[in-house]
Amino acid sequence: MNEIVLNIHPLEKRLAILEDNKLVELVVETKDKGNIIGNIYKGVVKDILPGMGAAFIDIGLERTAFLHYSDIVTDFFDDNDNNHQQDRNDRRNSDSSKINKLLTKGQEIIVQVQKGPINKKGARVTGQISIPGKYLVLFPNKEKIAISKKISSGSEKGRIRNILAKIKAQDVGLIVRTDAEGNSEEEFIAEYQGLYQSWRIIEQKIKNDVAPSCMYEQNDLTNKLVRDYFNSNIDRLVVNDKDYMKMLVTALKDIAPDLTDRIELYEEDSPIFDAFGIEKEIERIFHSHIPLPSGGNIVIEQTEAFVTIDVNTGSFIGNKNYESTVRRTNLEAAVELVRQIRLRDLSGIVIVDFIDMSSEGHKNEVFDTLRRNLRRDRAKNKAYYFGPLGLVEITRKRTGPGLLNTYSQHCQTCNGTGRVLSREAIAMKIHRSLERAEYFAMNKPITLIVNPEIRTYLSNYPDYLKGMSLRIILEEDEKLSLDKFKIFLDGRKKELSIVYSA
């Protein structure tokens, strides 16, 4: 059973993907922090560093974006000098110090974000522009049609190629996604026309807008949901907002009408993420120890450079022999650690220290289980078999800042060695708890006690305490840690926060 649960709120939107009732992915879009990956910008070259083979581009964000020499595409350059028309692939292995022959300081340039900013690093951008859809990806100023390798039928590839060759303009190229297999001509036409119209609108903005500015926002949650998440593999989608449901149905009618019957409106009184057990799972993303079904555990430690995952038998002693105990623990860990990688959106290099196994057959079984589960991950990844030190290495492409960065910030007390919930995440947690308390208040006043820093934050951002019928008395207590708070009903007669602070 594969499900999508959508929690729509004025202050944030959250998308959860469940596989067999287990949370495997979570996407959070806050009011002020959108995901900029895929956005197209008209930027200005601020600095050129031949020694690094790179340039820094002002795209209107707090930090300049990084553009490598190999990612420069000259499609949108005004200068048609032959040197500028060399193929991007030919340039990958050439002398990157010649970057100043392609770019000049102050030059305007069209770029698309590949990786969003994280910590002190700015976004990484590319000059290769693409407009993704549910079934097709459109490439301006290209001509070729490429089809996913996962569509294995030669006749199906030929059918799709013939349809697209008839309908596409000469100045665009297309990549056909795997989900397009079996689509009718009408479905291809509907999606292509939408993508091509989007590109025409972007073209006008490129001509008229002043740099630096955003030409196209790719990661609006609705677009991302329709394009990347909601497909034929999803059995149902549950959403708690009627207007958002109508908008979603409208967006799907033209490109995937068969999916509209799988959308359900959640109308119960309890919060939707509570009903599906998702809120408790989110709380656990800050736990380094993750229990396994048989009593073992895995320990996840995340650093700036890489992630380490250690597997332990814990309280599991088995009922046969040591090898059998280790095999079972490692098999359970192979499944759970992949779920945690997807859920926490861990990226870069992941080092897994499974419990030592003497049996080569057991090693193969554990590694096959690991790879099989990694195939369900939409992010690009690769696993490497047990090395000389008995470690398994996984590489995974970063798709976003990761949940740890979304929900937390560096702890100033310990000089950055640890993390605490961000003030925004704490405020949102308080808001959800107050919404739960509203049901029990029965028009009685609510007393909210928080850390002084959080009281200041709530005073500066009053939206977190608005939109409810509650009369809230806000107090502070310096003894409370930053992420702790208390909610009392009718003065201090009954504390609600103990039960409703999830």
pLDDT digits (tens, 9 = 90+) for 360-370: 999 999 999 99
pLDDT band at 251 (very low <50, low <70, confident <90, very high): confident
Lowest mean pLDDT among 296-300, 350-354, 379-383: 379-383
Structure token pair of residue 37: 């990956």
φ, ψ dihedrals at 69, nearest 5° = -55, -45
Q: Dump strand ranges (E) for 261-324.
A: 263-265, 289-291, 297-302, 306-312
Question: What pLDDT does residue 418 have?
Answer: 62
Question: What pLDDT does residue 149 have?
Answer: 87
pLDDT band at 338 (very low <50, low <70, confident <90, very high): very high
For residues 209-221, give the mean pLDDT.
84
pLDDT band at 120 (very low <50, low <70, confident <90, very high): confident
Predicted confidence (pLDDT) at residue 86 exceeds the cutoff of 70: no
Q: Which residues contact 296 (CB under 8 A, 6 or more apart)?
A: 311, 312, 313, 314, 315, 316, 329, 332, 333
> What is the rounded (10 degree) CA torsion for 174, 179, 182, 186?
-60
pLDDT tens, 412-451?
655 555 667 788 888 988 888 888 887 777 778 888 999 9
For residues 101-108, give the mean pLDDT.
90
**Spatial separation of the C-alpha atoms in residues 91 and 70, rounded to whole Å:** 6
pLDDT band at 84 (very low <50, low <70, confident <90, very high): very low
Question: What pLDDT does residue 441 have?
Answer: 72
Predicted confidence (pLDDT) at residue 27 exceeds the cutoff of 60: yes
CB count, 10 Å around CB of 392? 22
Predicted confidence (pLDDT) at residue 501 exceeds the cutoff of 60: no
pLDDT band at 81 (very low <50, low <70, confident <90, very high): very low
For residues 25-41, give the mean pLDDT.
80
Question: What pLDDT does residue 23 have?
Answer: 92
Higher-pLDDT residue of 238, 498 = 238
Predicted confidence (pLDDT) at residue 93 exceeds the cutoff of 60: no
Mean pLDDT of the chain: 85
Predicted confidence (pLDDT) at residue 303 exceeds the cutoff of 80: no
For residues 345-351, give the mean pLDDT.
90
Q: Which residues contact 472 (CB under 8 A, 6 or more apart)?
A: 434, 445, 446, 447, 448, 465
State the greatest distance between any 2 C-alpha atoms of the chain, in Å, as a whole number. 79
pLDDT tens, 36-74?
888 999 999 999 998 888 999 999 988 999 999 989 988
Predicted confidence (pLDDT) at residue 28 exceeds the cutoff of 90: no
Predicted confidence (pLDDT) at residue 410 exceeds the cutoff of 90: no
In angstroms, the Cα distances linking 118 to 37, 115, 381 are 12, 9, 20
Predicted confidence (pLDDT) at residue 270 exceeds the cutoff of 90: no
Higher-pLDDT residue of 391, 500 = 391
For residues 248-274, give the mean pLDDT.
87
Three-state DSSP at 33 gives coil
pLDDT band at 247 (very low <50, low <70, confident <90, very high): confident
β-pair type (22-30, 12-19):
antiparallel
Question: What pLDDT does residue 400 have?
Answer: 61
Question: What pLDDT does residue 158 have?
Answer: 93
Structure token pair of residue 284: 């656990």
pLDDT tens, 143-197?
899 999 888 899 999 999 999 999 998 889 999 988 888 888 888 988 888 788 7
